[in-house]
Structure 1
Amino acid sequence: MKKIIYLVFVVLVIGLLVVPVNAQTTIKSVGEGQVEVAFTYAGYLNSDKVYVAGEFNDWNKNDPEWRMKKKDGIWSLTKVVAEGEYQYKFTVFTSGIVSWVLDEDASSFAPDGYGGQNSVLIADANVTFGPRIIALEKQMASVNQGFEYHGYARSGYMVSSNGGAASNQLPSSFRLGNEIDTYVENTFAKTFSSDNGSWMKASFMLVNKNVEHSTWTTTEGSWEDDGLLRQAYVEGSGFDFAPHINFWAGKKYYGRSDVHISDFYWRDYSGYGAGIDNVNCGKGKFGMAYIGHSGYEGDYFDGVGEYSQHNIDFRFTELPVPGGNMEFELTYAYAKGDDEDIDNLSDGGLAVIYNRNDFYGATDGTTTTAVQFGTGILAGDGLGSSYATWMFEDARSVRFLTYGVANVSDKVDIMPQLVYQSDRNKYGEDEDISSIALGARLVHYITNNFSMQYEYGVDRVEQEFSWNSDEYTVHKITIAPTIKLDSTFWNRPELRFFVTYATGDEEADWASEYEEDSGLAYGVQMETWW
């Protein structure tokens, strides 16, 4: 076994050290606004075929008119094109595998939209480039290539009708006009690519959250004080041994899915691990991952280590069905305790998801419908999650949800949601809870930059625990005049001014800044992503 591992290691090292020879391209004028371009390339001489693909032939990777010929150790092709600028790459075919190769001696370079670069042909024989300019351009292309910065942020000020800053949300799961925090995600990524078409991307997400309204202090003893590194992982694909499979390892948001108007992540196997995805199965794609997640309290057992939930997740996605596509997810989870305070646990979960590229077949938009089932540590709060080791071993949970965005007209979009969950034996025998969250957000575009948002939601909870048995209902409505750059539902940034009113049963646990069974709040908020 050790010999095999060493052999694989040596092969990988040799593969990383192999660097193909660069190409050279020359241009000369043939009159009447046309130039003759001589493409030459001295790499991949053992390949079956090499083509030139670019804007001049609609990026056809194997256009017979743009096939290069090999002679005297050089791939070459001469073509006549109209004067202008064209982005392009070489496409190298080796044993059925296609590699998109950069011409590193091109006149210039441009982002390819996938974290890499395209070569740029400046088809003008009268244009000359000094050696220093060319060298500087290549250096800048190398420095900037594949760098990404994107993120998410929200911040605002919410005031109760009694005049104080709201330190607690109204007891509703619907988020518009009901968020009290400042939350920021900053993601930095760098893509590294090879001439054989393989690439790897390193991603890092820094998060900070402030639930207080002070502009210079945060709550002591919370991770929000100094922020948190939520993601740190590397992924890659296009490797010669498996060109169509994506590999990843590290700390990652894995396969997260949420309902936007309630910020409910119904699927979130985030944690530490590794996996593969984008494996072509003919019809659909396959992926699998191992995700480890340790206890929030740092529980430690002698002879075991820190208490951890181990998740092995299998997913089949993009399976074509009438009206859309299906996803099937199967998860196995286990956690080892000390057999005294916490037992060893081993449980399973299942999810079936149906996605449509329209709104239930009625109008333009999107739709997602899902059914989830889980047992033990994959039930209750652990349903669709990578960590919930406090669930009772006989717990059983089922969740049904459906949501989407309907483009009703050029002036109106609406996003409804229905989420129902039933937990049996959640914390112990016959300790049950069921909940339903039903609501919608309607956006009316008055102008291209000004809209009115209206959100209504009702939450119903019935619970029966050994220490408490009750049921309650909460209704919440928000009106929010909004300023934005474009009249589409997902366009951000947004500046919102809101008024929110909620009413319901006393058992809903209303915070002290509100009445015993109702609450009114108003404020401002911004939300953006990029």
Structure 2
Amino acid sequence: MHKMTFKTPLAIAIATASFGLGSTANANTTLEERFAELEARIAAAEQRAVAAERRADLAEQGHVTTSSAPASSAPSEVVSNAEIEERLARVERQSSGEEGFSFNVYARSGLLLGENRKSIDGGPYITPAGPLGGAVGRLGNEPDTYSEAVLNYRMQFDNGAKARYTTMLAAGTTSSNDWVGDDTNLNVRQVYAEFSDLPSFTGAFENASIWAGKRFDRDNFDIHWLDSDVVFLAGTGGGIYDMQLADNWRSNLSIYGRSFSDYPIINRENPGLDGESDTDNLILTSNNYFGNWQVMVNAMSAADNDERDIGVGQTAADSGWHTMVAYHGDSFFGMGEGNFKAALLHGQGLGAEVKGLGSNGDLTDDAAATRLAVYGTTYVAPQWRVAPSLLAEVSDDRFADGDRYKWATLNLRVANEITQNFEMQYEGSYQYMDLDPNGFSGREAVSGNFGKLTIAPTFKPDVGGFWKRPEIRLFASYTDWDAELNSYTTEDSFGNDGFTGGQWSFGVQSEVWF
């Protein structure tokens, strides 16, 4: 039997599609429809040609391995029809994305300049309320280069089980240089394995998946325009997703560990024996879904964290709890097409860091925080879309007895789609702050307002919706705030030379995700 000869798959595809098209075209078919049909036929024919060529190669391998081989040749493995079919099935799974390598990205990079043509500070957490989670609008307010690269490898087994291995690399810098040296920070933020469709899982676990490693929780969600997660659960541990506990009750269960940095121990009985220690905060999470409703409950424990001296005569908490009730709406607050999400969060002790769960080891035993997060998106006209959002929090006894922090952010992102590749984006952001640290870390009590207005001409390969990327935007922003906020602390940008409010900034930025 001689080796079969094939033309390239593309040549076969084009030939097949070209001859096949004539049988279906008619006088009522437009040229655009015929081109669309041709493209579809080319794609389908090319897939058939690749599969046929692969089948022929495997079939020939089977023929060669069963025939007589030269005496000097090593024995060849027999390729059975079943093995050929299994290999072909794997090729098909890889082409469909069910198996094989995939690559995902989030990245932003831009230049933020002040009126003096010099780089200036910025970012959604630029205000005095920023370290407390008080984000403001990000459009025209980001000076950094930040990128995430997610590498996935998916496997599917003969018994139907699936596995996925994920690694995520992330890096960020505020330098404008091509080689940033010590200013950069490269992190491996995720490394984990996840198994699903396990045939031995039955009953409530039939559709469940299990995982272990270092990861972001699958069900985190955010307010993109503020660059703020509503809730962010991450660390190293393990868990199980999608247990079906009842017809309308789906549940996740996990345990995460987060390492707190080294901290000084003040030995009050023997001052000469002061030292350093560290600890891990363990977070046990139950995340439950009832239709559109989500109920999340977290318990936290950090052994010996109460030995941490956080100043002003306070010691840190070694336990805490946190809960969130959220609604994921499939309309714009019931008033039209779009979507919205709303969440109410509360935490005590270590749980008073209500967004980055378990990430703050400086909270007191009596710390308490309550946060409200709401956003939605909709079209108000065929080429006009809007996305309002609200983020607000009040906390007490956070780092010192008697401290009290209140802040609220209102943000509105608006876009006008002018052509297929160009739109105008606008953003208005307002934040109110009433911050009383009660002497913590030398900070002063302040109260005031912050405001930002941005206009951003934006280019995209294809406009339509707030979630389409990539895009390249130019921007101009005007930012102002009450002078009292400049005295909150010397550790932030406010009040520094040339950064006292009432200023313009300009720049250009790209943002990509896929």
TM-score bucket of the superposed structures, by smaller chain: 0.7 to 0.9
Q: Which residue of 1 aligns with 2:200?
A: 241
Measured in 2, the distance between the counterparts of 1:303 and 1:332 equals: 29
Measured in 2, the distance between the counterparts of 1:154 and 1:406 equals: 24
**2:506 corresponds to 1:517:** no
Within a 5 Å distance, the mapping from 1:170-249 to structure 2 comes to 171=127, 173-220=136-183, 224-225=184-185, 227-242=186-201, 243-249=206-212
Q: Which residue of 2 aligns with 1:499?
A: 476
Measured in 2, the distance between the counterparts of 1:139 and 1:258 equals: 36
Q: Which residue of 1 aligns with 2:295?
A: 328
Q: Which residue of 1 aligns with 2:338?
A: 365
Measured in 2, the distance between the counterparts of 1:109 and 1:187 equals: 32
Which of 406, 423, 431 is equivalent to 1:459?
431
Question: Does the CA-based 8 Å contact 1:108-1:137 persist in structure 2?
Answer: no
Measured in 2, the distance between the counterparts of 1:192 and 1:299 equals: 47
Identity %: 25
Which of 431, 440, 444 is equivalent to 2:412?
440
Q: Which residue of 2 aligns with 1:41?
A: none
The one-letter code matched in structure 2 to 1:492 is R
**2:210 corresponds to 1:266:** no
Which consecutive residues of structure 1, in runs of 5 or more, have no partner in the other structure? Answer: 1-83, 88-106, 111-119
- Aligned-pair RMSD on alpha carbons? 3.1
Measured in 1, the distance between the counterparts of 2:242 and 2:478 equals: 45
What TM-score, normalized by structure 1, do the two folds share? Answer: 0.70
Question: Does the CA-based 8 Å contact 2:316-2:362 persist in structure 1?
Answer: no
Which of 356, 378, 403 is equivalent to 1:406?
378
The one-letter code matched in structure 1 to 2:386 is I
What is the deviation of 1:85? 12
What is the deviation of 1:361? 1.0
Within a 5 Å distance, the mapping from 1:11-30 to structure 2 comes to none
Question: Does the CA-based 8 Å contact 2:110-2:145 persist in structure 1?
Answer: yes
SS at match of 1:129: helix
What is the deviation of 1:507? 3.4
The one-letter code matched in structure 2 to 1:258 is D
Task: Spell out, residue by residue over 1:4-51, the C-alpha distance to the aligned partner (whole angstroms, 9 max, x if none).
Answer: xxxxxxxxxxxxxxxxxxxxxxxxxxxxxxxxxxxxxxxxxxxxxxxx
Q: Which residue of 2 aligns with 1:155?
A: 109
What is the deviation of 1:410? 2.3
Inter-CA distance 199–263: structure 2 relative to 1 (3 Å threshold): same
Within a 5 Å distance, the mapping from 1:83-482 to structure 2 comes to 129-131=56-58, 145-169=99-123, 171=127, 173-220=136-183, 224-225=184-185, 227-242=186-201, 243-254=206-217, 255-281=219-245, 282-297=247-262, 306-317=278-289, 319-320=290-291, 325-337=292-304, 340-341=307-308, 345-379=318-352, 381-383=353-355, 385-467=357-439, 468-482=444-458
Question: Does the CA-based 8 Å contact 1:501-1:521 persist in structure 2?
Answer: yes
Measured in 2, the distance between the counterparts of 1:378 and 1:164 equals: 40
Q: Which residue of 2 aligns with 1:104?
A: none
Measured in 2, the distance between the counterparts of 1:142 and 1:219 equals: 43
Question: Does the CA-based 8 Å contact 1:462-1:471 persist in structure 2?
Answer: yes
What is the deviation of 1:285? 1.0
SS at match of 2:138: coil
Question: Does the CA-based 8 Å contact 1:291-1:310 persist in structure 2?
Answer: yes
Measured in 1, the distance between the counterparts of 2:385 and 2:407 equals: 27
More strand by share: 1
Task: Spell out, residue by residue over 1:353-404, the C-alpha distance to the aligned partner (whole angstroms, 9 max, x if none).
Answer: 011111001121110011011001110x354523112101101111111101
What is the deviation of 1:517? 2.5
Task: Spell out, residue by residue over 1:300-356, the C-alpha distance to the aligned partner (whole angstroms, 9 max, x if none).
Answer: 999997311110010112x22xxxx10001110111116544566221111100111
Measured in 2, the distance between the counterparts of 1:143 and 1:296 equals: 43
What is the deviation of 1:519? 2.1
Measured in 1, the distance between the counterparts of 2:255 and 2:405 equals: 30
Q: Which residue of 2 aligns with 1:4?
A: none
Inter-CA distance 200–130: structure 2 relative to 1 (3 Å threshold): closer
The one-letter code matched in structure 2 to 1:267 is V
Measured in 2, the distance between the counterparts of 1:230 and 1:244 equals: 27
Measured in 1, the distance between the counterparts of 2:60 and 2:230 equals: 53
Inter-CA distance 300–409: structure 2 relative to 1 (3 Å threshold): farther
Question: Does the CA-based 8 Å contact 2:296-2:324 persist in structure 1?
Answer: yes
Q: Which residue of 2 aligns with 1:40?
A: none
Inter-CA distance 158–196: structure 2 relative to 1 (3 Å threshold): same
Measured in 1, the distance between the counterparts of 2:55 and 2:293 equals: 55
Which consecutive residues of structure 2, in runs of 5 or more, have no partner in the other structure? Answer: 1-40, 62-83, 128-134, 267-273, 309-314, 487-493
The one-letter code matched in structure 1 to 2:344 is V
More helix by share: 2
The one-letter code matched in structure 2 to 1:333 is M
The one-letter code matched in structure 1 to 2:141 is N
SS at match of 2:419: coil
The one-letter code matched in structure 1 to 2:190 is Q
The one-letter code matched in structure 2 to 1:233 is Y
Question: Does the CA-based 8 Å contact 1:375-1:395 persist in structure 2?
Answer: yes
What TM-score, normalized by structure 2, do the two folds share? Answer: 0.73
Inter-CA distance 444–197: structure 2 relative to 1 (3 Å threshold): same
Matched residue count: 405
Measured in 2, the distance between the counterparts of 1:505 and 1:465 equals: 18
